[in-house]
């Protein structure tokens, strides 16, 4: 629906309490109009917004299994659309205030009218009497009976919004699309004494999404999401990538709201393993994390929730057809708890980041391997048998796809420097680059685990130099395989420390070339001159691991629809 701008608004209708019954999650009823709001000038001139794909991402990441959906009455939105489109600048505060004064005000006028308050209880007590009342009242309000019934429940309101969407194309024809925006959540709350309804803000969160592609590259003529394939231009591909990252971040921010976090009670406890009454119907997946919560009273007699532990799902209960099919989890942090303890969802993206520093020993980079006629000699003054470096990796949890707990798909990027003396008479440098991908499997022992990995990729000895102010790089590349084990200690549900020992099998160099600053090859050499070079060896590492709740770029997103366990 488009009038001078595009709008999206979703109303979530439900009973208003975070724990309506301790340890029991109540599904929320959601009414949607469209998926996102933005003014026409929020888009960079010349850009077109793909509503169909955006709606698909919102449906997948935000309108998740724990919610039920209806439709918000159209006549409640007119004033909001008109006034929002007149705003000179868009911020979450301005949109929130406007939402309260237009849509929120109209809903409150309806719900706080004396006859609606008087007959609100008829929905539960006498269905036929309610239908008779609703038929008359709804008509006078310009609503249907179903729309009035929907509004007569307590409500959550959320509004995803875009403040800007821009596209940049550099001289190499690389396209970057950036989406900036966020999400507003409001709660329509019923006063227990007067039954008056008020509106209050739950969260105002912002996030961003960044996507990229290259003009003229056929790899960007289609975009994959699960088993679906979308035909795209490179510009569309970049927008889709940014949209997915943006919507995925908003999905986590929504699940982090206390009222929407999945919660249940432990119904069985055996050692540090527990069963609880949530499962596939609510969207629980293998390896999902849950806090263990105990309710206590403070000095004033108010109930407070204390986190006393953390656990991870070992088996998802298939409760769509069998309500007695419970999920099972194992405790990783905290003291043992008993039956009746509350479990509280800990939403994450399902992606870990790992940063490590370390050394590799057993390499063979001879001084002659670094000879470069353009700089007048060898860059290294002696042979290098070891190197110091750092690695950064993303690890996507495959467990909900493959059904094997704590199984990860890794992308690892490394950089380092050979530990050898440099030739002082030569103006040059040498460093190592590596890109690997593969699998990691972790086995847990309380708050610790041992993970084993097998990766395959390539290594490069890179020696940059300049000629007549033009930048070049003399590169020697070789395939490799990495195997190793890592010990990890969990500090909290998201952060852990690790140390590792491994072996990198370095094969003989397969490519020798000089590239310009655009990465194009300007000369190719003979791999035989480097046949005794070895970029592998024994590796020693130490670092940290962090479980992400937000990431501006899309990594592994195409795998998300395959989650089934």
Domain boundaries, the chain: 5-168+181-209, 262-346, 351-547
Question: 395 pairs with which residues across the strands?
Answer: 352, 410
pLDDT digits 0-9 by tens, 210-234: 999 999 899 999 999 999 999 999 9
> Closest by alpha carbon to 226, among 549, 555, 563?
563
CA neighbours closer than 13 Å in the CB half-sphere of residue 195: 13
Long-range own/partner contacts, residues 191-196 (CB < 8 A, 24 or more apart): 195/117, 195/120, 196/112, 196/117
C-alpha angle 328-253-9 in degrees, rounded to nearest 5: 120
- How would DSSP label each residue in 429-486? --EEEEEEEEEEEEEEETTEEEEEEEEEEEEEEEEEEEETTEEEEEEEEEEEEEEEEE
At 144, give phi and psi (nearest 5°): -90, 170
> Closest by alpha carbon to 265, among 253, 254, 278?
278
- Segment of 106-120, 293-307, 549-563 carrying the highest mean pLDDT: 549-563
- In this structure, of 14-28, 394-408, 522-536, the range with the lowest mean pLDDT score is 14-28
262-346 and 351-547 share one CATH topology? no
| Percent with pLDDT over 70 in the chain | 89
- In this structure, of 146-160, 162-176, 370-384, 439-453, the range with the lowest mean pLDDT score is 146-160
Q: Is the confidence at residue 547, as pLDDT, over 70? A: yes
- The confidence score (pLDDT) of residue 496 equals 97
Arithmetic mean of pLDDT, 175-183: 94
Q: What CATH number should be reported for the domain whose range is 351-547?
A: 2.40.160.20
User: What is the distance between the alpha carbons of residues 199 and 108, in angstroms, rounded to a whole number?
Assistant: 8
pLDDT digits 0-9 by tens, 50-90: 888 988 998 899 887 777 676 667 777 788 888 888 887 78
pLDDT band, very low/low/confident/very high, at 518 (cuts 50, 70, 90): confident
CATH of 262-346, one of 1.10.10, 3.30.160, 2.40.30, 1.10.760: 2.40.30
* 3-state SS assignment for residue 333: strand
- The confidence score (pLDDT) of residue 125 equals 63
At 545, give phi and psi (nearest 5°): -130, 135
User: What is the distance between the alpha carbons of residues 244 and 230, in angstroms, rounded to a whole number?
Assistant: 13
Burial class, 269, CB count within 10 angstroms (exposed 0-12 / middle 13-18 / buried 19+): middle
pLDDT band, very low/low/confident/very high, at 494 (cuts 50, 70, 90): very high
Crossing angle for the helix pair 78-85 and 92-99, to the nearest 10 degrees:
150
> Closest by alpha carbon to 201, among 219, 210, 188, 213?
188
pLDDT band, very low/low/confident/very high, at 245 (cuts 50, 70, 90): very high
Supply the DSSP symbol for 51.
H
- The confidence score (pLDDT) of residue 460 equals 96
User: What is the distance between the alpha carbons of residues 291 and 181, in angstroms, rounded to a whole number?
Assistant: 30
Q: Is the confidence at residue 11, as pLDDT, over 60? A: no
| Percent with pLDDT over 90 in the chain | 57
pLDDT digits 0-9 by tens, 463-481: 999 888 889 999 999 999 9
Count of CB atoms situated within 10 Å of the CB of 300? 6
Q: Is the confidence at residue 124, as pLDDT, over 60? A: no
Which of 513 and 191 is assigned the larger pLDDT? 513
- The confidence score (pLDDT) of residue 133 equals 77
Torsion, Cα of 55, 56, 57, 61 (10° steps): 100
- The confidence score (pLDDT) of residue 204 equals 87
- In this structure, of 97-106, 162-171, 264-273, 276-285, the range with the lowest mean pLDDT score is 97-106
- The confidence score (pLDDT) of residue 156 equals 77
pLDDT band, very low/low/confident/very high, at 153 (cuts 50, 70, 90): low
Query: Any residues with CB less than 8 A from the CB of 76 and at least 6 apart, and which?
Result: 103, 106, 107
- The confidence score (pLDDT) of residue 225 equals 95
pLDDT digits 0-9 by tens, 262-271: 999 999 999 9
Arithmetic mean of pLDDT, 274-303: 89
pLDDT band, very low/low/confident/very high, at 19 (cuts 50, 70, 90): very low
Average pLDDT, the chain: 87
Arithmetic mean of pLDDT, 233-240: 96
* 3-state SS assignment for residue 58: helix
- The confidence score (pLDDT) of residue 288 equals 97
- The confidence score (pLDDT) of residue 155 equals 67
């Amino acid at each position: 629906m488009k009038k001078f701008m595009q709008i999206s608004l979703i109303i979530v209708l439900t009973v208003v309490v975070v724990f309506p019954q301790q340890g029991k999650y109540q599904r929320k009823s959601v009414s949607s109009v469209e998926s996102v709001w933005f003014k026409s000038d929020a888009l960079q001139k010349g850009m077109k917004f793909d509503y169909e794909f955006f709606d698909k991402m919102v449906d997948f990441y935000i309108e998740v299994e724990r919610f039920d959906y209806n439709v918000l009455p159209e006549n409640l939105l007119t004033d909001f659309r008109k006034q929002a489109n007149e705003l000179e600048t868009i911020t979450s505060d301005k949109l929130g205030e406007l939402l309260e004064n237009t849509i929120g005000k109209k809903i409150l006028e309806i719900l706080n009218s004396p006859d609606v308050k008087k007959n609100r209880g008829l929905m539960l007590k006498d269905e036929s009497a309610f239908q008779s009342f609703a038929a008359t009242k709804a008509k006078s309000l310009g609503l249907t009976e179903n729309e009035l019934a929907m509004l007569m429940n307590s409500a959550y309101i959320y509004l995803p919004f875009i403040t800007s969407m821009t596209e940049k194309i550099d001289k190499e024809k690389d396209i970057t699309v950036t989406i900036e925006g966020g999400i507003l959540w409001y709660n329509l709350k019923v006063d227990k004494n007067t039954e008056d309804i008020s509106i209050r803000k739950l969260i105002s969160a912002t996030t961003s999404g960044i996507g990229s592609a290259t003009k003229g590259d056929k790899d960007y003529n289609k975009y994959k999401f699960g088993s679906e394939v979308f035909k795209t231009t490179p510009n569309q591909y970049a927008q889709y990538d940014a949209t997915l990252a943006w919507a995925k971040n908003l999905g986590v921010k929504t699940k982090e709201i206390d009222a929407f976090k999945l919660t249940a009670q432990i119904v069985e406890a055996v050692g540090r393993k527990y069963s609880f009454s949530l499962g596939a119907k609510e969207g629980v997946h293998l390896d999902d994390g849950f806090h263990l919560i105990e309710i206590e009273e403070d000095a004033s007699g108010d109930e407070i929730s204390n986190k006393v532990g953390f656990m991870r799902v070992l088996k998802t209960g298939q409760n769509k057809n069998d309500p007695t099919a419970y999920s099972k989890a194992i405790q990783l942090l905290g003291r043992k708890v008993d039956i009746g303890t509350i479990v509280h969802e800990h939403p994450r993206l399902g992606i870990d980041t790992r940063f490590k520093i370390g050394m590799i020993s057993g390499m063979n980079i001879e001084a002659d391997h670094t000879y470069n006629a353009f700089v007048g000699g060898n860059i290294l003054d002696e042979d290098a048998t070891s190197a110091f470096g750092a690695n950064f990796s993303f690890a996507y949890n495959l467990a909900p796809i493959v059904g094997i707990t704590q199984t990860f798909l890794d992308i690892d990027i490394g950089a380092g420097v050979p530990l050898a003396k440099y030739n002082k008479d030569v103006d040059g440098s040498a460093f190592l680059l590596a890109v690997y991908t593969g699998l990691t499997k972790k086995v847990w022992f309380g708050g610790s685990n041992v993970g084993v990995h097998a990766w395959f990729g390539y290594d490069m000895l890179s020696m940059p130099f300049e000629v007549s102010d033009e930048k070049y790089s003399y590169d020697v590349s070789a395939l490799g395989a990495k195997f190793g084990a890592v010990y990890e200690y969990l500090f909290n549900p998201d952060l852990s420390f690790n140390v590792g020992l491994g072996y990198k099998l370095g094969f003989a160099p397969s490519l020798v070339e000089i590239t310009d600053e655009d990465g194009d090859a300007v000369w190719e050499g003979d791999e035989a001159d480097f046949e005794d070079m070895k970029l592998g060896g024994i590796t020693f590492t130490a670092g940290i691991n962090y479980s992400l709740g937000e990431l501006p770029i899309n990594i592994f997103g195409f795998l998300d629809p395959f989650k089934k366990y």
